Amino acid sequence: MLVKLHSTIVIVFCFSQLKWTTGFGLGPCPKIENTRTINTTKLTGHWFEIERSFYLMELISTCVTLDLNENARGRFDVSVNTRSAWTGIFSISEGIAIPTKVDPTLYLYKVNSRLPRLINRYLPGTGFYKVLKTDYNNYLVVYSCTNYQIIHLDMIWIWGRKNEIDAELRSDLYALLNKYDIDTERLILSKSNNCTDEYYDDLDYYY
């Protein structure tokens, strides 16, 4: 009896950990209707990670940026850049995002990575990602959700054209996410406040 109780507690504990780290929810993924199309040209360019719903290892948790380049037929060439907090060296994960026919705001992302698997595990992997909302000039909200029988796992990112967004916009975006029953309490501020200009110069140089 005691043993049984213990295992229940452990399971509950694990689930709450899982919820915190990966975004676990009961029931299927929220139904999000497709209301818009994406102007591929306007979405291209450089984006800074502002917030995300899951932990990255401290090792790579700084200065995550995203570059979108227009490819043929509404596709994007994608690169996700991160800087190692330990070495200052940055890494790039590359892939391609292909809009789906059913929903032009839903992209199939395929990773074409040069990173070690350990690091790569913490970056967006191959799968479906939805552009929940963007105004092209300030913010981009990306959502990914996978159904596993009676639960779902999801991930949220807020990206900005600058490395921070103002409080009013943040609360508008939180309201939007809450409207879709997406839990904003899980969002974690990305560590991008110590990305020096030097670093971005280096990035330009790299290309």
Ligand X SMILES: *[C@@H]1O[C@H](CO)[C@@H](O)[C@H](O)[C@H]1NC(C)=O
Among 7, 17, 21, 39, binds ligand X (CB under 6 A): 39
Question: How many helices (H) and strands (E) would you count in the chain?
Answer: 5, 10
Q: What is residue 171's DSSP assignment?
A: H
Residue 133 CB partners (closer than 8 Å, separation 6+): 139, 140, 141, 173, 176
Q: Is residue 69 a contact point for ligand X (CB under 6 A)?
A: no
Q: Is residue 36 a contact point for ligand X (CB under 6 A)?
A: no
Q: Which stretch binds ligand X (CB under 6 A): 36-44, 49-57, 164-172, 199-207?
A: 36-44
Can you tell me the distance from the alpha carbon of 163 to that of 204, in angstroms, rounded to the nearest whole number? 16
Q: What is the nearest approach in angstroms of ligand X to the Cβ of residue 181?
A: 31
| Subset of 168-197 contacting ligand X (CB under 6 A) | 194
Q: Which stretch binds ligand X (CB under 6 A): 38-46, 76-84, 96-104, 150-158?
A: 38-46
Among 7, 21, 41, 138, binds ligand X (CB under 6 A): 41
Is there a contact between 79 and 66 (Cβ–Cβ < 8 Å)? yes
Q: C-alpha dihedral over 103, 105, 107, 113, to 10 degrees?
A: 180
Q: Which stretch binds ligand X (CB under 6 A): 39-47, 64-72, 152-160, 173-181?
A: 39-47
- Binding region for ligand X (CB under 6 A): 39, 41-42, 194
